[in-house]
Structure 1
Amino acid sequence: LPAPFNTLIALLTATGLSAAERYAALRFMLVQRVKRFNLASDCSVARLLEQHGQPATLVHKLWAPLCIAALNTPPTTASAQVFLNVLRDSLVQRRADSDMILPTRDLSALFPEPAAAYVRMHGGKVLSECAINTIVAEGSGFSLAGQHFTHLICAVGPHQAARLLMDLPKLNPLRDTLAQLRYQPIATVYMQYPASVKLAEPMLGLSGEFTQWVFDRGITHGQHGLLAVVISAEGRYRTLNHTELADQVEVELRQALGTLPVRLWHQVIIEKRATFSCDVGVQRPPQATPLENFYLAGDYTDSDSPATLEAATRSGVKCAHLILERS
């Protein structure tokens, strides 16, 4: 079925939801569609769902996991307008927009390495292992690591960008804006079991206190018996050490999947500043800056999307267009 009918049918036939919950979700989506997914004034996702009478059980099973997965921010503080933008862009336009696509290679091999090869193929240079610690403004250009450039796109994380801007006084207000951003973590708990352990699907969503999503790396990457559990946004898991967290995750996996053999090993990786916190009223800087020929690219820059690969890519494309328009 074409969008939005595929989404409507999916909600009406969703397993794990009661009839009342299905119709509540459908009613919410229809109201937002009529309103073109626009709010007169922003509020938290939790407040928006409360205003529209969404049952607590539905919030727990559908809306909260979707909010955390998309915005990496708890519903109590997450921007409802950005959340609605995600629903608009993914569920009600083209059917393909809601396709679930899982990579079978690591993200470095999927995006950056082919992009670098493309740049080299077209006469550009990609300098790896070349740290930039200082940016010096020289006329209308910039000096980095002893080399001069006419234009600069700063495509690092906001906390890293703030450090690089220290010697550029025209960008002090921008540094103040970046300093106001809050951050949200993402944890990945790798659990290695015997090769015989596999999930029924490449990815499953769980509703435990800790485990949100579990990926079978055997299906996607040929790493049989390796499960990757992803926990997004702030939560009580941050108070646990790595072994305690792995133990809690294993309890929830057993509750959801049944009997599991003893794990062979575990590894926990926590990125403390995985994304900016997409809160109500967060101020995101534009790509163009007050300093001539200096631009910002990143998922934290001005956009109606949360911190996603799409937002980061679009910001880079916008920087390129701005440079071409002004050259």
Structure 2
Amino acid sequence: MKMAIVGAGWAGMAAAVEAAGRGMDVTVFEATRTLGGRARALGTEKPDGTPITLDNGQHILIGAYSDTLALMQRVGLDLAQVLMALPLALPYPDGTGLQTPAWATRWPAPLDALGAIATARGWTWGERLALIRSSLGWQMAGFRCEPRATVETLCENLPERVVQELIEPLCVSALNLPSSDASAQVFLNVMRDALFGRGAAGFSASCLLLPRTDLTRLFPAAAAQWLQQHHGNTSRIRTGARITGLLNHAGRWRLTGEGVDEAFDRVVWATPASVAAQTLLAHADDNETLASWALSAHALHFTAITTVYAWAPGARLSAPMLALRAEPDAHASPAQFVFDRGQLNPEDAGVLAFVVSASTGERDELQARVLQQGQRQLGMALQPFITVVEKRATFACTPALERPGALIAPGLYAAGDYVQGPYPATLEAAVRSGVAAARLASE
């Protein structure tokens, strides 16, 4: 059976590995020259002219990302080499915040996370107990809530400090929306797996996994190499091949584009939602099923993520990742987290990555505010050298959102972090959708 996969991001490459493993003849078409989609490597230079490979956005994984970790191991990656595992922690530059004590790291979930909450620095016992009670209440309710509830309403009885120092940063980083707009149900899905779920690949579910290498090498490139080594006769990846045409004929799908004109038994469309909607709408004609799916994808709204890479020679933060405080003037403190890239990869020494989830505003003005925030909260001089704005980084994960399904039409499937599923727009959501699409297509 011949399968085409349009898009070589994390969803597309996950689909390719799963499909090849199921004995399908796989061709991956990628419009660009770099694998990874919206989580890919980015070549640039330090201010001193030294070449450096960064990413188009800073990402983290967690130990609950079972499908992603399993697939990374399947394609031969040594997780200990490519990921830095840290116990659940959201420390601030002044040392306060949530940090899992060493004695709690040996406890199974959810005891390790409860240990971190019980010892959160700077919190009163009342604040700690309030969060523990809420967490256990969520568990007793089966991590279910009213579909139209927001995270803000879900957490309205929690103390202000807990909301500002934990809930809001977690919400905006996981769902890329402020708590007032974000889906409480999807937030609970993440909390269920991260705090009370089972970890994967030997990691605790709640531990943070920070990439030690660029995002293309972290999975997509390794998947491509695995396909070549294990299924070289029946799998191929064509970069610089943009698919612009799609036609169903006699039960098969013909793809056309830049140097492409070929029919396939199955097609997995693994591009961003906007690209999928635009292409499918243009070729829906009288196919109501195709048009209906494309319109549902077109109806999604998106939010931006900005990553400001700054240069501070000799800089070393107290932890590889720190949370940044929301200041009284919220406009003056746009970044929620800062990463010390040098602690993850020695070649990146002196590079700090500031992440602004749900970002708004112009690039230069936002960069200036982030640098000023960093200088105030970290107490160091910072020099910018590249700022990456992904304007459509994630779909807006609002309450009761109707997301497109995995089946577009007979023989045509969708894969991407926006496809129906329990998670927001994360790497795990992308990988799960790719694996699921390949399984559906092989049935």
Tell me if 1:299 matches 2:417. yes
Deviation, structure 1 residue 127: 0.8
For 2:127 and 2:308, how far apart are their aligned partners in 1? 31
Aligned pairs for 1:170-181 within 5 A: 170=287, 171-181=290-300
Aligned pairs for 1:143-162 within 5 A: 143-144=254-255, 145-162=260-277
Q: Which structure has greater helix proportion?
A: 1
Q: Is the 8 A contact 2:335 2:357 kept in 1?
A: no
For 1:285 and 1:265, how far apart are their aligned partners in 2? 39
Q: Which runs of 5+ in 1 are unaligned?
A: none
Tell me if 1:131 matches 2:242. yes
Computed over aligned residues only, the root mean square deviation of the Cα atoms, in angstroms, reads: 1.4
Q: Counterpart of 2:309?
A: 190
Q: Counterpart of 1:206?
A: 324
Q: Is the 8 A contact 1:120 1:126 kept in 2?
A: no
Q: Is the 8 A contact 1:246 1:266 kept in 2?
A: no
For 1:220 and 1:90, how far apart are their aligned partners in 2? 22
Higher RCO (C-alpha 8 Å, min separation 6): 2
Q: Counterpart of 1:140?
A: 251
Aligned with 2:226 (options 118, 137, 147) = 118
Structure 1 counterpart of 2:354, which letter?
Answer: V
For 1:308 and 1:97, how far apart are their aligned partners in 2? 16
3-state SS of 2:181 partner: coil
Deviation, structure 1 residue 251: 2.4
3-state SS of 2:211 partner: coil
Q: Counterpart of 1:245?
A: 366
Aligned pairs for 1:1-327 within 5 A: 1-50=107-156, 53-94=157-198, 96-121=204-229, 122=231, 123=233, 124-144=235-255, 145-165=260-280, 166-169=282-285, 170=287, 171-194=290-313, 196-208=314-326, 209-221=333-345, 222-234=347-359, 238-242=360-364, 244-258=365-379, 260-261=380-381, 263-289=382-408, 291-325=409-443
Deviation, structure 1 residue 278: 0.3
Query: Identity, % of aligned pairs?
Result: 37
Deviation, structure 1 residue 199: 1.0
Q: Which structure has greater strand proportion?
A: 2
Can you list the C-alpha shifts for 1:238-269, whole angstroms capped at 9, x where unaligned? 23441x323322222233222x23x3443211
3-state SS of 1:83 partner: helix
Structure 2 counterpart of 1:255, which letter?
Answer: R
Q: Is the 8 A contact 2:305 2:393 kept in 1?
A: yes
For 2:418 and 2:377, how far apart are their aligned partners in 1? 35
3-state SS of 1:127 partner: strand
Structure 1 counterpart of 2:198, which letter?
Answer: R
TM-score (norm 2): 0.69
Structure 1 counterpart of 2:267, which letter?
Answer: L
Q: Report the more deviating stretch, 275-284 or 202-211.
A: 202-211
Deviation, structure 1 residue 201: 1.2
For 1:247 and 1:40, how far apart are their aligned partners in 2? 40
Q: Is the 8 A contact 1:293 1:323 kept in 2?
A: yes
Deviation, structure 1 residue 131: 1.0
Q: Is the 8 A contact 2:307 2:387 kept in 1?
A: yes
- Matched positions, count: 315
Q: Is the 8 A contact 2:308 2:384 kept in 1?
A: no
Say if 1:264 and 1:45 are closer, same or farther in 2 by CA, change over 3 A: closer
Q: Which runs of 5+ in 2 are unaligned?
A: 1-106, 327-332
Deviation, structure 1 residue 40: 4.2
Q: Report the more deviating stretch, 170-179 or 61-70.
A: 170-179
For 1:159 and 1:265, how far apart are their aligned partners in 2? 31
3-state SS of 1:146 partner: strand
